[in-house]
Structure 1
């Protein structure tokens, strides 16, 4: 593979350990070092990632580049974890281990952003179908920032002690990559970290804003498939069959009561039927129907309550239509599932003062209004059974003037994530994302961390 040009760690170290007078003139020398690195190499790397996106569990080229870059800063690198995941251990003496994660997959979307560097890539997906590919969620900024953070930390080893576990995670868009890495023995093979951090670039927030809040960070998400078995018949003689379309309609309407009549009014939940397929001709009653659902919640107990309710409703409809038990609708919770992502309160209490002192009140925000029920499989790295406290941050990605105009209604709406028109300011996103990752490590592994633990 051709080597990418990048700012050497020795030069970074010189910038980060500049004379006191120079540091006095710049209250954030770390930011200046990251900016220099962006101009010399990170921008080029981002453009390469954006032009060459890869689908979930198909990120071989992307993973190889990240692995090469992590080796260049002295990390012990293992590839192929959870299919295409990369683990890089940067060791620096005794101390805790902190997991720093970035997701790297694109989406099967044809880019129409109008950007000069827009993707024209195509790739065969897991289903064997050739599809357009686009970084329509900012993962290209995440992995660029991960590399930037690795370089900075390699040049700052006098300021922290311990181990940084860099994770380039596949298949976040299928919310399956983190689970795959864990099932491949991530913590058994490389050690259970003491902390875990990650960030996501957001088009809904302006450049220069960093959100780090305790508690709920992302909702749970479960992809649920229901197969309904019927008895085929002529459309003119419906009494001779059992219509799976009618049964599907009964299930769909009953599902609408799950949130409104099963959950407390103070609990959040979503059950959406996104697909309903059955039959192939006007006058034939099919013997099969397929439903596809997405199920969301903000609490793992609520999640189980909704999933149990779906199973109960499906079975009841089968019984109500006179089918034997072995022909009742089948409910399958798919691989694309993740629990709720919760930011650890104690970890937030440790990070917030340090981040506020470093970034200032204008940058750091310690609360976030929920705008929908998006999910994030970072949850697997910090699930309750792991006992790993985690912090998932949000980094603003939209230029402030465009964001303010959209908020005031005087400018166009900001394209959403997963849209073919999606675009964020890479420079602002990568600079702040890199700086947040580095600050997280310095706060938890720096010289003052021992007294705080």
Structure 2
């Protein structure tokens, strides 16, 4: 509904000064996965200022929540944002930078930062919610505003579903599930594609065992540091030697915890490994190779005990529905003009957003919007230095607030109105 979208945004758009302040609040007060209590409470309090007509359910699978806005007959649209932050110490130098530390879900004290932009996601969805509430005379249908916990653990969506999101909590079954993510592209741009847009992800915790002893007598020990080092180096050959060129695959060792003194050879080492892939066949090959390499290196090092491998998380490829993407692309092209790129390359990061749609067998669409300062982006681009842009999960990641927030808000509003009916209509004209 391009004409409706234009009227809604022109006449009912939010006060971005207010949302700039709200964004800074979320950024300065991040919370780790499973612990997003204050963020969730702020979301509910903010939504309540828009209308008394919201139907709330909170505490779903932890801190997850949704608010339903019913506005006559039509399709049911779910708009989703994630709320959690990362155990990263912020180094942006912003006057609203996080200095927060908090105990994680295991009781360990960590620095906390919104290093992945979830604060922008939450703020944009709240601004979109106010816009859609204000413009109710112009559209018809049901909107579910869902705020999810623990996306960084790749487990928050599954936890909400397992806790009864669509059963016990009676969330309306959506006809369409929509979501977005701020990335390192130029602020003001929006991009996506049909088919796979984000990779499948798997996380493993691998514990290998040695025989501890004095650092001066390594011949009396089995050194798990050396064992872990061999595993790490050998894992790097999986993509280069076992996955065909052209197939997207990534294997990353993100953490190694072993030892605590220079003169002690400890008895075990723990590695945390993440993989990314698109093709299920090669996803399986990667997993088998990891297990084979770990087993072989343990045998080569004369490890006294078989390694323990725990799957920490697993989520499938985010695979946009072709028909939804076509409809969304038409709307985005009319609104964002040349700032919309419908043929973006696949993003090698991963999401559990798709779990919400897959749980009820419904189609979904996920897109991206840039957060990098346009002036700096153009300067770096001219110099061929775009690889120097701080990416998500970096301690330097800091989306410029505008036009990033405006773009994210407008994208959600335009997307929702693409699938909602016009006022007085029974359903959207788009064939879902």
* Residue equivalent to 1:116: 95
1:394–1:328 Cα change, 3 Å = same
Q: CA deviation at 1:392?
A: 1.1
Superposition map of 1:32-111 within 5 A: 32-33=10-11, 35-39=13-17, 41-72=18-49, 73=51, 74-111=53-90
What is the distance in 2 between the residues matched to 1:89 and 1:298? 34
The answer for the alignment partner of 1:8 in structure 2 is none
Out of 120, 140, 148, the residue aligned to residue 119 of structure 2 is 140
Sort the Cα spacing of 1:409 and 1:224 in 2 relative to 1 into closer, same or farther, 3 A: same
Q: Does 1:129 align with 2:128?
A: no
* Match among 351, 359, 383 for residue 409 of structure 1: 383
Give, in angstroms, the shift of residue 228 of structure 1.
Answer: 1.5
Deviation of the 1:318 alpha carbon = 4.3
Q: Distance in 1 between matches of 2:106 and 2:385?
A: 40
Q: Which has the higher contact order (CA 8 A, sep 6+)?
A: 2
Q: How does 1:4-403 map to 2 (within 5 A)?
A: 28-33=6-11, 35-39=13-17, 41-72=18-49, 73=51, 74-188=53-167, 189=169, 190-202=171-183, 204-232=184-212, 242-279=222-259, 286-318=266-298, 327-335=305-313, 337-360=314-337, 362-370=338-346, 373-383=348-358, 386-403=360-377
Separation in 2, partners of 1:419, 1:377: 20
Shift of 1:388: 2.2
Range that drifts further, 309-318 or 99-108 = 309-318
Matched-pair contact (CA < 8 Å) for 2:12–2:134: no
Kept in 1, the 8 Å contact 2:75–2:428? The answer is: no
Equivalent residues, number: 421
Within 1, Cα distance between the matches of 2:54 and 2:147?
13
Q: Equivalent residue for 2:405?
A: 430
Q: Which runs of 5+ in 2 are unaligned?
A: none
CA distance in 1, matches of 2:253, 2:349: 16
Following superposition, the deviation at residue 287 of structure 1 comes to: 3.5
What per-residue deviation string (whole Å, max 9, x for no partner) do you get for residues 326-367 of structure 1?
A: x321111114x432212111211222222222332x121102
Q: What is the alpha-carbon distance in structure 2 between the residues aligned to residue 131 and residue 251 of structure 1?
A: 28
Give the TM-score normalised by structure 1.
0.83
8 Å CA contact retained: 2:28, 2:97: yes
Aligned 8 A contact 2:14 2:131 in 1: no
Structure 1: how far apart are the matches of 2:29 and 2:292? 45
Query: For residues 243 and 228 of structure 1, what CA distance do their matches in structure 2 show?
Result: 10
CA contact (8 A) 1:402 1:411 kept: no
Please list the CA deviations of residues 355-410 of structure 1 after superposition, one character each: whole Å capped at 9, or x if unmatched. Answer: 222332x1211022346x22222132234x64221111111222321210111128
Deviations 1:44-80 (A, max 9, x none): 3222222222222221111111112333432111111
| Aligned match of 1:12 | none
Q: Where does structure 1 lack aligned partners over 5 or more consecutive residues? A: 1-19
Residue 368 of structure 1: SS of its match in structure 2? coil
* Shift in CA distance, 366/417, structure 1 to aligned 2, threshold 3 Å: same
* Aligned CA distance change for structure 1 residues 35 and 426 (closer, same or farther; 3 Å): farther
What SS does structure 2 have at the residue aligned with 1:452? coil
CA deviation after TM superposition for structure 1 residue 168, in Å: 1.0
Cα distance, 1:440–1:414 mapped onto 2, change above 3 Å: same
Q: Measure how far apart 1:198 and its partner are.
A: 0.9
Alpha carbons of structure 1 residues 272 and 396: separation in structure 2 relative to 1, 3 Å = closer
Shift in CA distance, 344/286, structure 1 to aligned 2, threshold 3 Å = same
* Pair 1:213–1:284, CA change in 2 (3 A): same
Deviation of residue 144 (structure 1)?
Answer: 1.2
Taking a change above 3 Å as real, the CA distance of residues 196 and 317 of structure 1, as seen in their structure-2 partners, is same
Distance 1:288 1:419, change over 3 A: closer
Q: Hey, what's the Cα distance between the residues in 1 that align with 2:67 and 2:421?
A: 20
RMSD: 2.9
Further displaced range: 209-218 or 103-112: 103-112
Secondary structure of the corresponding residue to residue 202 of structure 2:
strand
Q: 1:433 offset after TM fit, Å?
A: 1.3
